[in-house]
């Protein structure tokens, strides 16, 4: 049984992840092999512990060290601004660590965290749950039928960086690595970003704040097209936590350093592009 610590309670993900491993009085756990045994975070740590049978509430995340086998860093203050500081004590101690999206607000900090994890031998994973959407599995199987891809369009709700990571990660989990530059057009109620590949399709990511809440992906190829809508939220959260559980058990992250840094670089390049009204290469935002 993998003992998880839960760091942060000010996001709906805290209750979702605790429920997947621990269940509630009325609902059984969705996964076997893991359990949240310790929680930190104001103001809801006590309430969350009572709802999900979490044995320990701590007043400092570092107090979990020695009592947990892995940690879920989900604190949402500043849209992820605290993730690095909260994760560091666990990474330094070699504890398998999952950092919720976005991993960091700066690509340089993400690089520093990966470097620290490699030095200490701590498995480190960060991912949007949309990477694990059940609908994307069938969509990927259809891609070879489309022939050489010309264009892929990924649509999601919210703002560009904090919530747009879902649409970007959904896109890159299907198209794969190799994005070269981003040109983002920022409007008051939506963002439209073009992402180019040197030897691949052109991709468009739209984050829409004035449309119905939806995650949607469409691919166009030389032989046809395909689309899918992601709507099974229970599935992608459960599949994400299954991947985290596997990481904690095997010591290997299913999402590589390179994959995570490319996603963050696309988002960072999009921020810079909208500010300067020009295309920005990913190489310009990745620390040398």
pLDDT < 70 regions, the chain: 288
- Within-domain flag for 212: yes
Instruction: Tell me how far apart the 2 most distant CA atoms of the chain are, in Å.
Output: 58
Q: pLDDT (tens digit, 9 = 90+) per residue, 59-104?
A: 999 999 999 999 999 999 999 999 999 999 999 999 999 999 999 9
- Within-domain flag for 86: yes
Q: Among candidates 57, 52, 54, 56, which has minimal Cα distance to 42?
A: 57
What is the DSSP annotation of 12-68? HHHHHHHHHHH--SSS--S-SSEEEEEEE-TTTHHHHHHHHT--EE-SSGGGGTTT-
Same domain, 122 and 13: yes
Give the pLDDT of residue 287. 81
Same domain, 14 and 42: yes
Q: Among candidates 96, 129, 83, which has minimal Cα distance to 235?
A: 129
Same domain, 20 and 86: yes
- Within-domain flag for 238: no
Give the pLDDT of residue 198. 87
- Within-domain flag for 270: yes
What is the total count of domains within the chain? 2
Same domain, 77 and 193: no
Give the pLDDT of residue 200. 87
The DSSP 8-state label assigned to residue 5 in this structure reads E
Q: In whole angstroms, give the CA distance from residue 285 to residue 281.
A: 7
Print the domain residue range for 155: 130-231+264-284
Same domain, 224 and 186: yes
């Amino acid at each position: 049984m993998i003992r998880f610590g839960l760091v942060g309670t000010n996001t709906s993900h805290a209750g979702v992840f605790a429920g997947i491993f621990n269940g509630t009085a009325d609902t059984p756990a969705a996964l076997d092999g893991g359990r949240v045994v310790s929680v930190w975070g104001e103001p809801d740590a006590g309430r969350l512990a009572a709802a999900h049978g979490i044995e320990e509430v701590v007043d400092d995340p570092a107090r979990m060290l020695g009592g947990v086998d892995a940690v879920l860093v989900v604190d949402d203050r500043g849209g992820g601004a605290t993730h690095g500081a909260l994760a560091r004590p666990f990474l330094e101690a070699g504890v398998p660590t999952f950092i919720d999206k976005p991993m960091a607000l700066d690509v340089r900090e993400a690089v520093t965290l990966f470097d620290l994890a490699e030095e200490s031998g701590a498995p480190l994973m960060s991912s949007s749950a949309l990477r694990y959407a059940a609908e994307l599995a069938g969509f990927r199987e259809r891609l070879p039928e489309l022939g050489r891809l010309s264009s892929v369009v990924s649509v999601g709700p919210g703002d560009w960086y904090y919530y747009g990571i879902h649409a970007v990660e959904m896109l890159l989990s299907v198209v794969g690595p190799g994005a070269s530059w981003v040109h983002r057009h920022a409007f008051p109620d939506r963002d439209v970003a073009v992402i180019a590949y040197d030897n691949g399709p052109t991709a468009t990511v739209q984050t829409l704040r004035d449309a119905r809440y939806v995650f949607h992906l469409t691919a166009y190829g030389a032989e046809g097209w395909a689309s899918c809508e992601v709507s099974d939220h229970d599935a992608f959260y459960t599949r994400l936590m299954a991947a985290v559980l596997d990481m904690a058990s095997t010591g290997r992250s299913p999402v590589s350093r390179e994959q995570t840094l490319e996603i963050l670089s696309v988002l960072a390049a999009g921020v810079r592009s909208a500010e300067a009204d020009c295309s920005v290469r990913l190489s310009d935002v990745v620390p040398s």
